[in-house]
Amino acid sequence: MPSQEQSLNLQERAHPCAVWFRRDLRLDDNRCLQEAFKRSKGRIIPIYVLDPREHEPNLLGWPKCGAFRGQFLLEALSDLRMKFKRMGSDLVVRIGPPEEILPNLVDQHGATHLYTLDPQDHREAEVIRLVSEGCYREGVEFVEIEGSTLYDYSRIPFAEGELPQSFIEFRRILERDASPKPPELAIKKVLPLPMGLRAGNLPKLESMNLTEFPQDPRSTISFIGGEANGLKRLKDYVWERKLISYSSTTRQGLGGEQISTKLSAWVNLGCLSPRRIWYELLAFEAKHGGSQGVYQLIYHLTMRDFMIFHAKQMGEKLYQVEGLRELPKVWEEESERFAMWYQGYSGFPLIDAFMRELSTTGYISPRGRQIVSSFFVKQLRLPWTWAASCFETLLIDYHPAITWGAMQSVAGVGVDLPQVSDHPIESGYAVDWEGAYIRFWVPELASVPPEYIYQPHLLNEEQQAYLGLYLGQNYPHPIVSPPDFTEREPTPRERNQELIMERLKRYGKL
Tell me whether residue 91 or residue 372 sits nearer to ligand FAD (CB atom): 372
Phi/psi at 93 (5° precision):
-125, 135
Residue 413 · residue 323 · CB < 8 Å = yes
Tell me whether residue 27 or residue 301 sits nearer to ligand FAD (CB atom): 301
**Helix 400-411 to helix 384-394 angle, to the nearest 10 degrees?**
150
| Least Cβ distance, residue 253 to ligand FAD (angstroms) | 11
Q: 184 exposed, middle or buried (CB, 10 Å; 0-12, 13-18, 19+)? A: middle
Residue 263 · residue 234 · CB < 8 Å = yes
Binding mask 274-303 for ligand FAD (x = CB under 6 A): -----------------------x--xx-x
Tell me whether residue 114 or residue 372 sits nearer to ligand FAD (CB atom): 372
- Taking the alpha carbons at both ends of the chain, their separation in whole angstroms is 79
Q: Which of residues 470-509 bind ligand FAD (CB under 6 A)?
A: none
| Least Cβ distance, residue 72 to ligand FAD (angstroms) | 12
Q: DSSP states of 447-490 as a string?
A: TS-HHHHT-GGG--HHHHHHHT--BTTTBPPPSSPPPPPP--PP
Query: Whole-angstrom Cα distance, residue 446 to residue 436?
Result: 9
| Least Cβ distance, residue 62 to ligand FAD (angstroms) | 15
369 binds ligand FAD (CB under 6 A): yes
| Least Cβ distance, residue 370 to ligand FAD (angstroms) | 5
373 binds ligand FAD (CB under 6 A): yes
Binding ligand FAD (rule: CB under 6 A), the pick from 275, 304, 312, 439 is 304
| Least Cβ distance, residue 357 to ligand FAD (angstroms) | 12
Bridge partners (DSSP) of residue 95 are 50
CA 464 vs CA 344, 433, 467: distances in Å: 20, 20, 5
Binding ligand FAD (rule: CB under 6 A), the pick from 116, 268, 273, 464 is 268
Total residues interacting with ligand FAD, rule: CB under 6 A: 28
Residue 267 · residue 304 · CB < 8 Å = yes
Tell me whether residue 193 or residue 267 sits nearer to ligand FAD (CB atom): 267
Which of the stretches 134-142, 184-192, 397-405, 445-453 binds ligand FAD when contact is defined by CB under 6 A?
Answer: 397-405
Tell me whether residue 63 or residue 103 sits nearer to ligand FAD (CB atom): 63
Tell me whether residue 33 or residue 396 sits nearer to ligand FAD (CB atom): 396
Tell me whether residue 361 or residue 373 sits nearer to ligand FAD (CB atom): 373
What number of other Cβ atoms are within 10 A of residue 470's Cβ?
13
| Least Cβ distance, residue 2 to ligand FAD (angstroms) | 36
352 binds ligand FAD (CB under 6 A): no
Binding ligand FAD (rule: CB under 6 A), the pick from 120, 360, 403, 455 is 403
Binding ligand FAD (rule: CB under 6 A), the pick from 68, 342, 391, 452 is 391
69 binds ligand FAD (CB under 6 A): no
Tell me whether residue 11 or residue 296 sits nearer to ligand FAD (CB atom): 296
CA 121 vs CA 97, 127, 380, 383, 400: distances in Å: 18, 11, 29, 22, 8
Residue 415 · residue 166 · CB < 8 Å = yes
Bridge partners (DSSP) of residue 142 are 114
Residue 75 · residue 151 · CB < 8 Å = no
Which of the stretches 153-161, 185-193, 364-372, 452-460 binds ligand FAD when contact is defined by CB under 6 A?
Answer: 364-372
Rg value, the chain, Cα: 25
Binding ligand FAD (rule: CB under 6 A), the pick from 36, 406, 442, 445 is 406
DSSP H or E run through 506: helix 492-506
Which of the stretches 2-10, 94-102, 312-320, 400-408 binds ligand FAD when contact is defined by CB under 6 A?
Answer: 400-408
Binding ligand FAD (rule: CB under 6 A), the pick from 398, 429, 441, 475 is 398
**Helix 366-374 to helix 349-361 angle, to the nearest 10 degrees?**
120
| Least Cβ distance, residue 243 to ligand FAD (angstroms) | 10
Query: Whole-angstrom Cα distance, residue 386 to residue 391?
Result: 9
397 binds ligand FAD (CB under 6 A): yes
Strand order in the sheet with 113-117: 92-95, 44-50, 17-21, 113-117, 141-145
Which of the stretches 117-125, 154-162, 178-186, 402-410 binds ligand FAD when contact is defined by CB under 6 A?
Answer: 402-410
Estimate to the nearest angstrom the gap between the alpha carbon of 360 and the chain centroid.
Answer: 16
366 binds ligand FAD (CB under 6 A): yes
Which of the stretches 53-61, 188-196, 264-272, 310-318 binds ligand FAD when contact is defined by CB under 6 A?
Answer: 264-272
Q: How many residues does the chain have?
A: 510
| Least Cβ distance, residue 451 to ligand FAD (angstroms) | 29
Q: 201 exposed, middle or buried (CB, 10 Å; 0-12, 13-18, 19+)? A: exposed
50 binds ligand FAD (CB under 6 A): no
- Contact residues toward ligand FAD (CB under 6 A) are 251, 260-264, 267-268, 297, 300-301, 303-304, 307, 365-366, 369-370, 373, 391, 395, 397-399, 402-403, 406-407
